[in-house]
Amino acid sequence: MLLTYHEIVTTRSEYVYSATSAELAEHLTVIQSREASGLKHVVTFDDGHLSQYAHGLPVLEGQGVKAIFFVTAGWTGRRKSYMGWEHLRELVSLGHEVQSHGWSHEMLSRCPSDRLIEELQRSKYSLEDRLGTRVDAISMPGGRWNKAILSHCGQAGYTRLYTSDAYVRPTSCGDISILGRCMIRRGMSDRDLIRLLDSREAKFSSEKTLFQLKRSARAILGDTVYHRLWRWAGRSDAASMDSDGMAGSYR
């Protein structure tokens, strides 16, 4: 399974897509233990938040884990709380991948054709020019994508498309591989993570059923209404946690 982190903090945050550096360390230990048994897991980060460099990178390096950092290229070096080019160059020098998360984090499903092309191409070419590396992968802002976006990704030169669907099996469409990921959420313990990883292999599980229900709700409500609800829920406090301490997924 592919795991996705956003902000990495030192103490518990109210942001729903945050994890503490201690939780990240516990998760990496789980991943390494499972990989010793032949199970493959990949760690990814979205957005390019500075906390990923300040608090996440030391944990990754300490445990010898390489990750994929999907960065919003238009925010790089421009927003105070996001990484600059020097941070991204260091990630690359240490053997991590830096790939695209679009230019401005606009949901690609909302973009007209000309804007979509800019989001895809400008981010890719900017990262390649500034880092001197190949950028051939993109994670979908908000997890939203469709066949038109897939076609434009292929035309822009991407060969890997990462979604926010934890249970989609890796598949290919033409020259593009489509890969699903699980969004790590606030308060997820190592035991929660093991349960989540196991649920992907199970035919039926409460986690998988919950995800499918929320995906159906998104289809019924539409992206705009669903995203407003998701943003509201993401700003809620710890009371929004599930009764077992494991937050549900709004993506």
Full pLDDT tens readout for the chain, 251 residues: 899 999 999 999 999 999 999 999 999 999 999 988 888 899 999 999 999 999 999 999 999 999 999 999 999 999 999 999 999 999 999 999 999 999 999 999 999 999 999 999 999 999 999 999 999 999 999 888 899 999 999 999 999 999 988 877 888 888 999 999 999 999 999 999 999 888 766 444 555 555 555 555 555 545 555 455 555 555 543 333 332 332 333 35
Q: What is the CATH number of the domain that holds 184?
A: 3.20.20.370
DSSP annotation of 49: B
Q: Is residue 222 part of a domain?
A: no
Q: Is residue 244 part of a domain?
A: no
Q: Is residue 217 part of a domain?
A: no
Q: How many structural domains are present in the chain?
A: 1
Rounded distance between C-alpha atoms, residue 175 and residue 194, angstroms: 33
Structure token pair of residue 123: 């981010």
Cα distances from 188 to residues 3, 141, 197, in angstroms, run 12, 22, 12
When computed from its CA atoms, the radius of gyration of the chain, rounded to whole angstroms, is 17
Interior angle at CA 189, CA 184 and CA 190, nearest 5: 100
Q: Is residue 247 part of a domain?
A: no
Structural contact between residues 68 and 88, judged by C-beta atoms closer than 8 angstroms: no
Q: Is residue 236 part of a domain?
A: no
Q: Is residue 135 part of a domain?
A: yes
Q: Is residue 47 part of a domain?
A: yes
Residues 6+ apart with CB under 8 A from 121: 156
Q: pTM of the full predicted structure?
A: 0.82
Residues of the domain holding 158: 2-202
